Amino acid sequence: MSARPLVRQDSQRIGELQRVQQQDEFRRALRALLMRPLMASSHEDFPAVRRQAARLRDWFAREVGWPIDVERDGARLFKRPADLVDETRGLPDYNRRRYVLFCLACAVLERADPQITLHKLGEDIMQLAGDPALASCGFEFTLRTATERRELVSVCRTLLEQDVLQRVAGDEENFVLENGGARSDALYDVQRCMLAGILAAVRGPSTWRAEAAPIDFEDRLRSLVAEHVADSDQGRRDALRHHLARRLLDDPVIYNASLDAEHQAYFVNQRGAMAARLCEAAGLSAEQRAEGLALTDESGRLTDISMPAEGTEAHATLLVAERLARLLREAPQSAVTKDSDVVDFLRVAIDKYGRYWRKSAREPGAEVELAKITLDNLHRLQLISHANREIRPLPAIARFALGDPEVRNQMSGNRRSEKSLFDA
């Protein structure tokens, strides 16, 4: 008679453990897709994504309006940024020319055989680059110079990182050095499923007739991702919620002052509930202030730029952030400084911390490049506004301050007290 309650309790514990496990797996899959929207089946988190596919579809559709496609060969979360002209977004070291090359490479691969060589890819891109429309814009690609071959290799490596290409044999670096000779070629498998998921637009640009296509660059961007909004109060509220949720998941912080009147009114009333839902699902922490809201990841993994972090640039960024935060606290209304002030500050910092920084950062004049990198990081994190060589610290920078660091001796592994935040 006494066994039944014990069995029931065991069943309850097992059920609770299963629910916790399911929630943990869902959160891991969601976080993985936020960082890797185009995910190959070889990715370590893909099995979790596939098992949680139905729940992920419902959550993304409800909270942010992003479709998700999960197939046997991979998954694609169609992330569409709320701010289409945000200059801090994009692939590292990519300019407009390199994006053109990337698009041409995808066009070549769409028509290619299941395998392609690097040399063949370059030749086919050259043919497409000869289009009069591109020539009229001053675009030219010939593969004759090492710079052009290096650009092709950079695009190719981006496609490798996105699992659109898989290297079978060969090496890209020799292709640059040996003038693209036959002995320096590389062979790739083309992954059609991943290639098809590269474009996250609502409407493909090739669907416009030439005479009807938008002319202005920003109009083109908006047209690519224009979504249907139901003509009702609920439809408009959903559009507002999706826009704000996308910014909260994609951007470091939302400042109230950056929103128009309609979005600001919705945000002020709903930000607490929105933050709670997003934090619960993605494992984030909400920081609500009078100036706005930030969702932070204490693990530091759900970000493109970690701060604080190890390394010379990371330490310099934290030093500058702390200085600007102090400036903001002391003079909130007039906290403006110049690029040259940051350069001067880092020149002094080199004398104090340079023995822990990499050798190149201690060379004469290195503080100029270090200041550029530092300010770019802070701008991308939305901790400063940076225009016309003037820097204005933004409210979220006040959360950064330097404490008493510990430096680890790499040779012995012992720790010693020094005023630094990273390894020697």
Q: In the chain, what is the greatest distance between 2 CA atoms, to the nearest angstrom? A: 88
- Helix H or strand E segment including 254: strand 254-255
CA angle (229, 231, 237) in 5-degree steps: 65
CA–CA distances in Å: residue 139 to residues 92, 152, 161, 382: 21, 14, 26, 33
Neighbours of 405 (CB within 10 A): 15
| Whole-structure pTM value | 0.84
Interval 33-60: pLDDT, tens = 999 999 999 999 999 999 999 999 999 9
CA 400 to CA 405: how far, in whole Å? 14
Interval 53-109: pLDDT, tens = 999 999 999 999 999 999 999 999 999 888 888 878 888 889 999 999 999 999 999
CA 76 to CA 146: how far, in whole Å? 35
pLDDT for residue 416: 36
Residue 181, class by beta-carbon neighbours within 10 Å (0-12 exposed, 13-18 middle, 19+ buried)?
exposed
pLDDT for residue 82: 85
pLDDT for residue 421: 29
Report residue 89 as tokens: 């977004």
Ranges of the chain with pLDDT below 50: 1, 412-424
